[in-house]
Structure 1
Amino acid sequence: MELINTLEQAVYAVMTPISDFIWSYVLFYLLFGAGIIFTVATRFVQFRLFFHMVRITFDSRSSESGISSFQALATSLAARVGTGNLAGVALALWIGGPGAVFWMWMTALVGLATTFIECTLGQVYKIHYADGVYRGGPAYYIERALGQRWMSILFAVFLILAYGFAFSGAQANTIAKGMEGAFGVPTWATGIALVILAGIVIYGGLRSVARTAEKVVPLMAIGYFLVAMYVLVVNYDQVPAMFALIVKSAFGFGPAVGGAVGYTIKAAMENGVKRGLFSNEAGMGSTPNAAATAEVNHPAAQGLVQAFGVVIDTLIICSCTAVVILLSGVYDRMLAHGGSDSMQGIQLTQDAMADHLGMFGVGFIAVAILFFAYTSILANFAYSEINLEYLAGRHGKKAVAILRPLVLAMVMIGSVATLSFVWDFADLAMGLMATTNLIAILCLFPIALRVLKDYERQRAEGIDEPVFHRKVLKNPDQVEPGIWD
Structure 2
Amino acid sequence: MDILNSFIDWGNGLLWGSVLIYLLVGAGLYFTVRTGAAQLRLLGHAWKAVLASRDSDSTADGGRGGITSFQAFATGLASRVGTGNIAGVAIAISLGGPGAVFWMWMTALLGMSTALLEASLAQAYKVPDADHGFRGGPAYYIRQGLGQGWMGSLFAVFLILAFGLVFNAVQSNSIVAALSGYGVGALPVGLVLALLTAPIIFGGIKRVSRVAEVVVPIMAVLYLLIAIYVILTNLGELPAMFSHIFQSAFGVQAAAGGVTGGIAAALLNGVKRGLFSNEAGMGSAPNAAAAASVNHPVQQGLVQMLGVFVDTIIICTATAAIILLSGVHLGDKDVTGVQLTQAALTEHVGAWGNDFLAVAIFLFAFTSIIGNYAYAESNVQYLSRNRTLLNVFRVLVLGMVVFGAVRDVPTVWNMADLSMGLMAVTNLIALLLLSPVALRLLHDYDRQRRAGTAEPVFDRHADAELDRRLPHEIWK
User: Do Structure 1 and Structure 2 share a fold, with TM-score over 0.5?
Assistant: yes
Alignment of 1:445 onto 2:443: no
**Distance across 2 between alignment mates of 1:101 and 1:463:** 39
Partner residue, 1:303 = 301
Q: Could you tell me whether the CA contact under 8 Å between 1:28 and 1:273 is conserved in 2?
A: yes
Match 1:43 to one of 17, 36, 40: 36
Partner residue, 1:407 = 397
Q: Could you tell me whether the CA contact under 8 Å between 1:95 and 1:259 is conserved in 2?
A: no
**Distance across 1 between alignment mates of 2:190 and 2:200:** 16
Report sequence identity in percent. Answer: 53
**Distance across 1 between alignment mates of 2:464 and 2:265:** 43
Q: Could you tell me whether the CA contact under 8 Å between 2:119 and 2:290 is conserved in 1?
A: yes
State the 1:417 CA deviation.
3.8
Partner residue, 1:146 = 146
Look up the equivalent residue of 1:247 and give its one-letter code: F
Match 2:17 to one of 24, 30, 49: 24
Partner residue, 1:4 = none
User: 1:212–1:290: structure 2 CA closer, same or farther, 3 Å change rule?
Assistant: same
Residue by residue over 1:230-284, the C-alpha shift from the partner in whole angstroms, topping out at 9 and shown as x without a partner, is 00001111112212222222222224224423x4333323322222222111110
State the 1:365 CA deviation.
1.3
Counterparts of 1:83-94 in structure 2, within 5 Å, are 83-94=83-94
Counterparts of 1:334-413 in structure 2, within 5 Å, are 334=330, 339-392=331-384, 394-395=385-386, 397-413=387-403
Residue by residue over 1:328-384, the C-alpha shift from the partner in whole angstroms, topping out at 9 and shown as x without a partner, is 1424xx1xxxx4431222222111111011111111111111011101110111111
**For 2:413, what is the secondary structure of its paired residue?**
helix
Paired residue total: 468
Counterparts of 1:28-427 in structure 2, within 5 Å, are 28-63=21-56, 65-181=65-181, 183-261=182-260, 263-331=261-329, 334=330, 339-392=331-384, 394-395=385-386, 397-418=387-408, 420-427=410-417
Look up the equivalent residue of 1:19 and give its one-letter code: N
Q: How high is the TM-score relative to the length of structure 1?
A: 0.93
Residue by residue over 1:199-231, the C-alpha shift from the partner in whole angstroms, topping out at 9 and shown as x without a partner, is 121111100000111111111111111100000
Alignment of 1:476 onto 2:476: no
**For 1:341, what is the secondary structure of its paired residue?**
coil
Where structure 2 has 5 or more consecutive residues not aligned to the other structure, the ranges are 58-64
**Distance across 2 between alignment mates of 1:41 and 1:119:** 16
Residue by residue over 1:291-343, the C-alpha shift from the partner in whole angstroms, topping out at 9 and shown as x without a partner, is 10111000001001100001110001100010001111424xx1xxxx44312
**For 1:313, what is the secondary structure of its paired residue?**
helix
Partner residue, 1:13 = 6
Match 2:424 to one of 434, 449, 452: 434
**Distance across 2 between alignment mates of 1:354 and 1:218:** 24
**For 1:86, what is the secondary structure of its paired residue?**
helix
User: 1:449–1:478: structure 2 CA closer, same or farther, 3 Å change rule?
Assistant: closer
Alignment of 1:457 onto 2:447: yes
Q: Could you tell me whether the CA contact under 8 Å between 1:95 and 1:258 is conserved in 2?
A: no
Q: Could you tell me whether the CA contact under 8 Å between 2:169 and 2:404 is conserved in 1?
A: yes
User: 1:192–1:274: structure 2 CA closer, same or farther, 3 Å change rule?
Assistant: closer
Q: Could you tell me whether the CA contact under 8 Å between 1:75 and 1:209 is conserved in 2?
A: yes
Q: Could you tell me whether the CA contact under 8 Å between 1:73 and 1:309 is conserved in 2?
A: yes
C-alpha RMSD of the superposition = 1.7
Look up the equivalent residue of 1:365 and give its one-letter code: L
Q: Could you tell me whether the CA contact under 8 Å between 1:96 and 1:271 is conserved in 2?
A: yes
**Distance across 2 between alignment mates of 1:147 and 1:172:** 37
Look up the equivalent residue of 2:374 and give its one-letter code: A
User: 1:418–1:267: structure 2 CA closer, same or farther, 3 Å change rule?
Assistant: closer
Look up the equivalent residue of 2:28 and give its one-letter code: G
**Distance across 2 between alignment mates of 1:329 and 1:260:** 14
**Distance across 1 between alignment mates of 2:316 and 2:294:** 29
User: 1:146–1:40: structure 2 CA closer, same or farther, 3 Å change rule?
Assistant: same
User: 1:161–1:82: structure 2 CA closer, same or farther, 3 Å change rule?
Assistant: same
Which stretch of the first structure deviates more once superposed, 411-420 or 465-474?
411-420
Q: How high is the TM-score relative to the length of structure 2?
A: 0.94
**For 1:342, what is the secondary structure of its paired residue?**
coil
**Distance across 2 between alignment mates of 1:267 and 1:170:** 22
**Distance across 1 between alignment mates of 2:303 and 2:16:** 28
**Distance across 2 between alignment mates of 1:436 and 1:473:** 28
State the 1:416 CA deviation.
3.2
Q: Could you tell me whether the CA contact under 8 Å between 1:235 and 1:327 is conserved in 2?
A: yes
Q: Could you tell me whether the CA contact under 8 Å between 1:447 and 1:473 is conserved in 2?
A: no
State the 1:422 CA deviation.
4.0
Q: Could you tell me whether the CA contact under 8 Å between 2:172 and 2:404 is conserved in 1?
A: yes
Where structure 1 has 5 or more consecutive residues not aligned to the other structure, the ranges are 1-7
